[in-house]
Copies of this chain bind each other. A is one copy, B any other.
Amino acid sequence: MKIKYNIVPVETLGQARYPSPLIGTDYISFIDDADGSINQTLFSEISTSAQGQGVEFFELAGPRESIYFDPEKIACGIVTCGGLCPGLNDVIRSIVNSLWFDYGVKTIYGFRYGYKGLTKSSEFPPLKLDLEVVDEIHTKGGTILSSSRGNQDIAEMVQTLQDYGIKILFTIGGDGTLRGAQALAQYIKDNNLDISIVAVPKTIDNDINYIQLSFGFQTAVEAAYRIIESAHIEAKGAPNGVGLIKLMGRHSGSIACHATLSDINVNYCLIPEVGFRLEGSGGLLAVLKKRLKEKQHAVIVVAEGAGQDLIGGELGVDLSGNIRLKDIGLYLKEAITSYFENEKIEVNVKYFDPSYSLRSVAANAFDSAYCLFLGRHAVHAAISGRTNVLVGFANDKYIHVPIAMAVGTCKQVNRHGDLWHMVTGATQQPNSIFL
């Protein structure tokens, strides 16, 4: 059998030119870029295409013997953008420690409040980062650099980088941040500047491609699991109690599914990827009525992006006139309450909207260690001159992925895959409620 394979090329600023300070260190295996042989790279998923079966290789992340920057002469920057996620401080700490210990970079700036901190209008100068500053930050949730949302002027941001002598910028954030990073790298390239942009992708929803598991995800699922336990207790505590939990997940029901599997007291798990119906004899409301008659309680988990089609557009307008996705949690709460009111059956809906409290906790032990790897591999990548690249993780290996490949895509729950099948098995939710 023949397998075609493609090597995914990664952008670099130029030829690596300095010997790594890690040379001579014990316990290190350098990645040999020159050796294109199969054991230096990674098989991706096998894809069957019209052109026959093919395999994509990604560069393995890791230290290189030759590096591009002279560590003693450069300054580096770190910026965290978008919503909070467990592990942000761990990634920051890891980057600082690796720059400091592995390469001897001592000038490290943490830009405040996301990309905003890279603009001229920023009120807050960057924080000088050293070993002392980051020493215990991993025991706290959030980010010591604070964060913000939104785009900023690219030229202005690059100017700030130049003003501070930044040769490497590490961006930690989600899809929007990746787009920003891409734009920065493009502008830098167009202007023949010598600055590397390396991203550590963050997505609490676990929905970025080429990231088998996003950092903070397991911590968030653990927190969600605690809430589901509470909801189950409340549901059993009242006549016809219904514990209704809205969890994060705008486009992907990943958290909802995993939290459901963690605590299989969930009876219905609703996600954006699989439409569902409320009305009719097989719809959620009738199914729920039947269950309450038999068991007197039920637990429903709903991802925030689920069931948007159920909600009339005219309701999705906020006080300022902006159109907004309607709150599926509150919608379900009211739909259930009304339905049982009409049926003249007592129901006690206990609604849980844990929102921020799932994402602002400190990383658990697994995520802490995972962030350590991500941060360190980001440093290895950047110092070797790679740019416009993110540190991915696939098939249990750390890889370099061009930002362009990951941006704008969205990993979703496959309704015919193992995860969703396991969810339906665990909940025993009838298929009749799904479209």
Contacts and interface: CB of A to CB of B under 8 A. Distances in A.
Given A1-B5, A234-B84, A425 B97 contact: yes
Contacts of A396: 212, 395-396
Interface string A114-146: 001000000000000000000010111111001
B372 A422 contact: yes
In the complex, which range does the number of interface residues on chain A fall in?
A: 35 or more
A153 interface: no
A56 interface: no
Contact of A360 (B62, B233, B421): B233
A218 interface: yes
A148 to B, nearest CB: 5
Contacts of A360: 229-231, 233-234, 237
Contacts of A139: 139-140
B218 A366 contact: yes
Interface string A172-199: 0000000000000000000000000000
A356 B234 contact: yes
B227 A357 contact: yes
Interface stretch (A11-19, A156-164, A257-265, A303-311): A257-265
Total copies of this chain within the assembly: 4
A222 B364 contact: yes
Contacts of A229: 141, 360
A20 to B, nearest CB: 13
A3 B46 CA distance: 14
B365 A357 contact: no
A21 B136 CA distance: 37
A73 to B, nearest CB: 22
Contacts of A109: none
Interface string A45-82: 01010000100000000100000000000000000000
A426 to B, nearest CB: 6
A29 B416 contact: yes
A213 B262 CA distance: 17
A15 to B, nearest CB: 25
A102 to B, nearest CB: 6
A309 B212 CA distance: 40
Contact of A428 (B101, B140, B221): B101
A230 B319 CA distance: 27
A334 B319 CA distance: 10
B416 A27 contact: yes
Nearest to A60: B418
A340 interface: no
Contact of A46 (B38, B334, B416, B426): B38
Contacts of A231: 356, 360
A412 interface: no
A339 interface: no
Contacts of A101: 425, 428
A62 B366 contact: no
Nearest to A44: B43
A261 to B, nearest CB: 4
Interface stretch (A276-284, A347-355, A383-391, A402-410): A347-355
Interface centre among A84, A230, A353 (most CB of B within 10 A): A230
A376 B238 contact: no
Contact of A422 (B1, B146, B368, B373): B373
A39 interface: yes
A158 B218 CA distance: 41
In the complex, the 8 A-B pairs of residues with the closest C-beta atoms, listed nearest first: A262-B365, A142-B233, A261-B369, A225-B365, A233-B360, A230-B360, A222-B365, A26-B431
30 contacts: A1-B38, A27-B416, A27-B424, A28-B421, A29-B418, A43-B46, A84-B237, A101-B425, A113-B239, A116-B239, A141-B229, A142-B233, A142-B234, A146-B236, A146-B239, A148-B238, A218-B218, A222-B365, A224-B365, A226-B357, A230-B357, A230-B360, A233-B360, A261-B368, A261-B372, A263-B368, A353-B353, A376-B422, A396-B396, A398-B418
